[in-house]
Structures are given as C-alpha cells and as structure tokens.
Amino acid sequence: MGTQVRSCPKCFQLMWLKEDHYDVLDEETVRAKCPHCGSTVRFQLVTAGANAAGPKMGH
C-alpha cells in the first residue's frame, strides 16, 4: 500500500507512515501509532473512486 499520510486526531500533526509502521486490520481499516504523541489511531481507507486505497482525509 505504500506510505500513508494522515493527521493524528489527538495532536493534529501529520503522520507519514511507511508500510512497517501500520497494521492493516481489514480491507478498509488501518491502525497506526502516532510518532508524535504515541496515540494508537485507526482510519478508514477510500475503496472506490479516484482516491481508492488512499487515506480518507475527513473533509
């Protein structure tokens, strides 16, 4: 899946996570530990459209 970029919901800083820094829980959910505050966070992946397999940015 490559590098994932996501903002942490706890400290709001960007997390640049390489494949060995996150766990794929299922085909739509990824779990990672924020390198800034240490919180464990989950986020959903976009599964359809132009941004498929990328992080959902919460707009």
| β partners of residue 31 | 23, 42
45 touches 28 (CB < 8 A): yes
22 touches 45 (CB < 8 A): no
Instruction: Identify the burial level of 11 via C-beta atoms within 10 angstroms of its C-beta, where 0-12 means exposed, 13-18 middle and 19 or more buried.
Output: middle
Q: Given this model, what pLDDT does residue 11 score? A: 92
In the chain, how many domains are there? 1
Q: Given this model, what pLDDT does residue 27 score? A: 80
Q: Does the pLDDT value for residue 1 go beyond 80? A: no
The model carries a pTM of 0.61
Q: Given this model, what pLDDT does residue 52 score? A: 63
> Domain range spanning residue 41?
1-59
* pLDDT tens digits for range 2-58: 677 888 889 999 988 887 888 888 888 888 899 899 999 988 876 666 656 555 555
Instruction: Identify the burial level of 12 via C-beta atoms within 10 angstroms of its C-beta, where 0-12 means exposed, 13-18 middle and 19 or more buried.
Output: exposed
